[in-house]
Structure 1
Amino acid sequence: MSIPQLIISILLFLVLFFGIGFLINMLLRSTWFMAVVYPLVVIRIVDDVRIFEYITAPATSFSALGSKLISLHIADITILLSGLAGAILAGVANRVLRSKGYRMF
C-alpha cells in the first residue's frame, strides 16, 4: 500500500466512523455505543467466519480470528485504529455537546 492510499484510508475510516458513531449516539441517546460496537465491526471486516459459527463452533472460530488478527499488517492496524479513534471522538463530541446544553445530543 502506498503512502497516499494509507493517508486517505486513515482519514476515510476516521471520518466514516465519527459520522456513523455521532449519528447513532445521537439517535440512541447514548455516548459510547459505537465505541463498544466497533470491535464487532472490526471482527466482521477482518474475519471470514459467519457470526453463527462463533456460537456453534467457538474454538475453531476464535482460533481463526486470532490468526487473522495476528497476520494483519501495520498499515491495516493503523487504519482500523483510526476508525476506533473516530468512534471515540464521536462519543466525546456528543458528551461535550450535552454538557454545553444541547438537548438533542
Structure 2
Amino acid sequence: MKIKLNLTADQVFAVAKLLQQVYDLFPSVNCEQLSVRSIAFDLDEKFTAKRKVLLKKNTLFDVGKEYELSLKYHEAVALRKIISNLIETVNDVKATNDLRMLYHFLHQKTA
C-alpha cells in the first residue's frame, strides 16, 4: 500500500532537515526505536535526493508548485512518528507549520 504525497519545496526541505537529526540521536534501546531509525535512514536518502533535484531546478516560477512523492505505508507511519518526536527541535515557524500539516495528512492516511 502506497501513500502519495504532494509536497511543496518548503515541505521537502523541512522534512529533509528534520530527518538529518536522526543521525544525532542517542543509540536505540528497543526494537521499535531500531525499526523507526532504520526506516528514517531510508527516508532521509529519499528526501535528500528530492531536495537536491529541487535545488538544481528551483526557479521563481516554481514557488507554489507541488511535487509528488510516494511512500510505503510503513515509511509513512515512521515519518509520522519522527515528526511527532522531533518537531519541538525545529526553530523555524514556517518549517514547523509545514511539518504539522504533513503530520496531520499522514495521520489521516495511516489511521
TM-score range, shorter chain: 0.3 to 0.5
Richer in helix (by share): 1
Larger radius of gyration: 1
TM-score, normalised via structure 1 length: 0.34
